[in-house]
Structure 1
Amino acid sequence: MDTTMSAHGPPGTPQHTRWNPRLVGQIAALLLANITADSVIVMPLLVLPQMLDHFDTGQAAWISSTAMLAGAMWAPLFGKSADIHGKRRMLTVALLVTCGGALVCLTAPTLWIFVLGRMLQGAAVAAVFLTVSIVRDLCAPRIAMPAVGAVTTCAGVVGISLTASVERLAAESGFRVVFVASAVFSVVAVTCIRAFVPESESRTPGRVDVAGTLLLGGGLVAVLGYISLGTDIGWLSAGALALLGVGVAALTRWYLVSSRVPESVIDIRNLGRPMVLTLLVVVLATGAGQSMDQLLSLIAQVSSDRGLGYGLDAQGSLALLFGLPAIGIMAGGLLSGWLAARTDPAVALAGGVLVGTAGALGMFIGASSFPAAISFAVLLNLSMGSLVASGFNMAGALTPPHRQGVIASMVAVTSAIGSVGVSFIGAAVLSATSDVVDGTTVNSATGVYSYIATAAGLFMVAAVLAILLLAQRRTEHPQRTNR
């Protein structure tokens, strides 16, 4: 029996229960949304020096971090709105806002208007979790889990080839090509999604708690902004402390009033133990994994001949060091989805954490050996692909359909918090242990290996939490987790 859904089918149209051409087309359309998100977060980093020169500023963090930070504000708003007004509708709105942000960046005459455009582009972060929620609506669970793996991780591999093309164009035509590409991706994604992806029939009646959303999103942006920008603006400067104070006050106020609001954007007091464990695993493990990319970028071109106790001497081999392991993200997502469909998402989540732990521990060797660095970076990227897919799958398995948008937004926000927070901790460790060699400040071996130990320790804590989650799921669903 053909269970393919009609793009404009009547209520009660069945979910996909097997792979078919229409499902592949729908996933391809959703994949375009995630490629757009990659273009917003990754591509501007390729032309960062040109943008700094153009705006005559040294504030790299404002340019590179603003979109991700703004994504923490957009995520709860789009998550709740998607549950009320429809996931496809809000995905197209998010992509159109992203397109508008790209156009603002393209024409910005000053740095601060450019930063405003980057904040609008942060809406692309919502695209990632909304595509996950849509896939879960389109497919029966056995198909949804590998499909989530495909839609969340394959964008990175596609982005590698697109990034190379855009990098060449930017070298010839200037940094604005990056934002032209982002706007084009947004429009193409909206067109394909409207053409091939049906609107979700699952709705939550109610309204968006705008005040609560602003408190939560604004508080997260302020606190993450303090963490991300503190090095540039001074941790104890008046502006930095004001940013931190506003963020803490907003989050405290949101927490105090959320339980009294009938339709709070996120009711964290009623999440349940499995969901709390899932979010803790995501924040610790994804933060640890993504922080290792930062370390690799710092030690990649350091020659071992300098006698620092580390160094990969990867001059001319950066594409191999970062490109080959990136394929692991796609493989990890697909394997995680396959495993989750046949057992339970908790099994895939625990497996991803254990692989990441092995990869982090292996970097004690990889920090001074190029072949070992590639090998263990592949493990770390396998882990990251698995964590992204299984984190969304686990959260989706614990959530009724009418709340998928909100819960998926929480996974996205916790992942961002982990990435920013752990990378900051690692940078602080390196800064506190730096040495001066031949009149130049360099990272010490103590700092590098302490950084690795920090990431490995966080992976180990996440592994304990993942095993606790798996034990609880094994008790509740023995027929799945024991397969």
Structure 2
Amino acid sequence: MTSTTGTTARTGSAPALLAVLLPAMLATVIASDMVNLVLPAIGTEFGASEAELAWVVTGFLLMFSVGIPFYGRISDRVSLRRLFCFALLAYAAGSLICALAPDLLVLVLGRVVMGVGAAAIPVLSIIAVTTLMPADRRGAGIGVISASAGIGTAAGPAVGGGIGQFLGWPALFWIMLAIALVLLPAAARVLPGDAPSGAGRFDLPGGILLGLGAGLVLFGITQAQVSGLAAPSSWASLAVAVVAIALFGWRTARVAEPFVPPALFADPVYRAAVVIAFLAMIVNLGGLVLVPLLVVDVNGLGPGAGALVMIPAGVAVAAVSPLIGRLSDRVGTRPLVLAGLAAMGLFAVFLSACAGGTSVIPAGIGVLGLGVGFIFVLTPIISAAAGTLPGDRVGVGIGILQGAQFLGAGTGPALLGALVTARQQSGAGAVNPLFPGHEGAAYSDAFLAMAAVVVLALVVAVRMRPRAAAG
């Protein structure tokens, strides 16, 4: 994005920019899982089965996974102002459709439209911080954006469950509609309207193949969690996804200007950032999904009380994120990433040892440690990756990075949930010798699997070049 390399002085101050990006990011993340606890009420009202209700979540997530790389690539050709305003309008339209939905089909359609708009917010927010804020403040800006994402992820189920219980589930979408409409004029004023220059041809077939592959991977894994891997909807989706990704790779190697330039991955820091973001997100979202299920299934808490266990983690992430952002500007990437991954691994093992105890306090401590460790990883990784990208490839580079991050967010809970289900059906004891042997062995195994994923991420992080990682 060569025409937007100036600072925020061209369109507004850094605080004004963050004042738009932070609530937009917060609303987007909350919207992704705010419906989880009100799905039973929606099912009762519309007479829908559990499999049908899953599309209220899946429709949003599919558009998210497909849209993120597209928005990143398009941002190298279209101004941030136009893209962000379009995203807010789509988000508002989807919210209105959901709020007025007379049946489940219309509600799913509204969630799909919301996902089309919501997919733009994370990637465009990081691009805005990267291109509009001074380099020595980039980490702090990304830390603020990460804080809003952390708050939204932890608070989404609690907000959705509380508002849905007292005001009804349509109120959730009326609130999201109001937020989008309030942010629209502010975004038009703060974000730059000049179009990027120097962008090459747009490889639409390559983008379609990449989006199709990512979407079908997510859908196939989700169906495996619901119906089992032997279900045709699961294995067929995964098989077609493999074909789509293979065709994407074939096209990338043969066209002059592919959707994802292979030169992006020539930089070792960027390569490591993509892999680490994917693996760390599997663990982070796995904890955010499994811990509430643990305290509900094993400790006997209600859904609302189970969601409240997540609140301390959200508060801690919000407090730590800006500090980590400023610290990454000073000490570099590699030390923070290694410390964060080490913390995530230790707390995953802690959860594996304490899963299913009589008290829910260890579960709250464990998810808090996972969240704080994740912020130590994510904020420096994004800042370092952004620093390696040339100006005309910032959009596509950030889009791929966040696409990998979101793919981890979608596949992690599904795979770990399938592991929990399989272990519960087997009735076997926990693998972890530190587990005391009471109820919750299946969750103990899932948390131990999360620790194994962290080890893989650590192997990649250790091999990062210290000189480049400090960039």
Same fold at TM > 0.5? yes
Could you tell me which residue of structure 2 aligns to residue 184 of structure 1? 178
Q: Is 1:343 aligned to 2:334, yes or no? A: no
Quick one: distance in 2 between partners of 1:92 and 1:221?
Answer: 25
Quick one: distance in 2 between partners of 1:453 and 1:160?
Answer: 22
The letter for the 1-side match of 2:424 is S
Quick one: distance in 2 between partners of 1:166 and 1:317?
Answer: 13
Could you tell me which residue of structure 2 aligns to residue 292 of structure 1? 287
Q: Is 1:356 aligned to 2:348, yes or no? A: no
**Matched residue SS, 2:42:** helix
Could you tell me which residue of structure 2 aligns to residue 307 of structure 1? none
The alpha-carbon distance between structure 1 residues 14 and 83, as it changes in their structure 2 partners (threshold 3 A), is closer
Q: CA RMSD in A?
A: 2.8
Higher mean C-alpha displacement, 245-254 vs 165-174: 165-174
8 Å contact 2:209–2:248 — kept in the other structure?
yes
The alpha-carbon distance between structure 1 residues 429 and 163, as it changes in their structure 2 partners (threshold 3 A), is closer
The alpha-carbon distance between structure 1 residues 170 and 378, as it changes in their structure 2 partners (threshold 3 A), is closer
The alpha-carbon distance between structure 1 residues 63 and 268, as it changes in their structure 2 partners (threshold 3 A), is farther
8 Å contact 1:71–1:125 — kept in the other structure?
yes
Quick one: distance in 1 between partners of 2:245 and 2:152?
Answer: 37
Q: Is 1:390 aligned to 2:388, yes or no? A: no
Could you tell me which residue of structure 2 aligns to residue 414 of structure 1? 404
**Matched residue SS, 2:200:** coil
Deviation string for 1:222-268 (max 9, x for gaps)? 12101012333453333333322322222211111122223322134
Quick one: distance in 1 between partners of 2:96 and 2:287?
Answer: 33
**What does 1:52-451 align with in structure 2 at a 5 Å threshold?**
52-57=43-48, 58-59=50-51, 60-123=53-116, 124-157=118-151, 167-199=161-193, 202-268=196-262, 270-272=264-266, 273-302=268-297, 311-312=298-299, 317-318=305-306, 320-367=308-355, 368=357, 369-434=359-424, 445-451=440-446
Q: Percent identity?
A: 22
Quick one: distance in 1 between partners of 2:209 and 2:126?
Answer: 25
Quick one: distance in 1 between partners of 2:210 and 2:5?
Answer: 36
**Matched residue SS, 1:114:** helix
Q: Give 1:375 deviation, angstroms.
A: 2.2
The letter for the 1-side match of 2:178 is V
Quick one: distance in 2 between partners of 1:286 and 1:166?
Answer: 22
Aligned length: 450
**Matched residue SS, 2:250:** helix
Higher mean C-alpha displacement, 291-300 vs 366-375: 366-375
The alpha-carbon distance between structure 1 residues 364 and 13, as it changes in their structure 2 partners (threshold 3 A), is closer
Deviation string for 1:344-366 (max 9, x for gaps)? 23333333212212221221343
Higher relative contact order (CA 8 A, sep 6+): 2
The alpha-carbon distance between structure 1 residues 160 and 244, as it changes in their structure 2 partners (threshold 3 A), is closer
Quick one: distance in 2 between partners of 1:44 and 1:459?
Answer: 29
Deviation string for 1:131-164 (max 9, x for gaps)? 1110111211111111111023235437877976
8 Å contact 1:102–1:117 — kept in the other structure?
yes
8 Å contact 2:281–2:405 — kept in the other structure?
yes
The letter for the 2-side match of 1:118 is R
The letter for the 1-side match of 2:86 is V
Q: Give 1:106 deviation, angstroms.
A: 2.7
8 Å contact 1:99–1:187 — kept in the other structure?
yes
Could you tell me which residue of structure 2 aligns to residue 7 of structure 1? none
Q: Is 1:42 aligned to 2:33, yes or no? A: yes
Quick one: distance in 2 between partners of 1:186 and 1:16?
Answer: 22
* Gap runs ≥5 in structure 2: 428-437
8 Å contact 1:34–1:155 — kept in the other structure?
yes
**Matched residue SS, 2:95:** helix
Quick one: distance in 2 between partners of 1:234 and 1:162?
Answer: 27
Q: Give 1:218 deviation, angstroms.
A: 1.5
The letter for the 2-side match of 1:62 is W
Quick one: distance in 1 between partners of 2:412 and 2:204?
Answer: 30
The alpha-carbon distance between structure 1 residues 341 and 226, as it changes in their structure 2 partners (threshold 3 A), is same
Quick one: distance in 1 between partners of 2:223 and 2:156?
Answer: 29
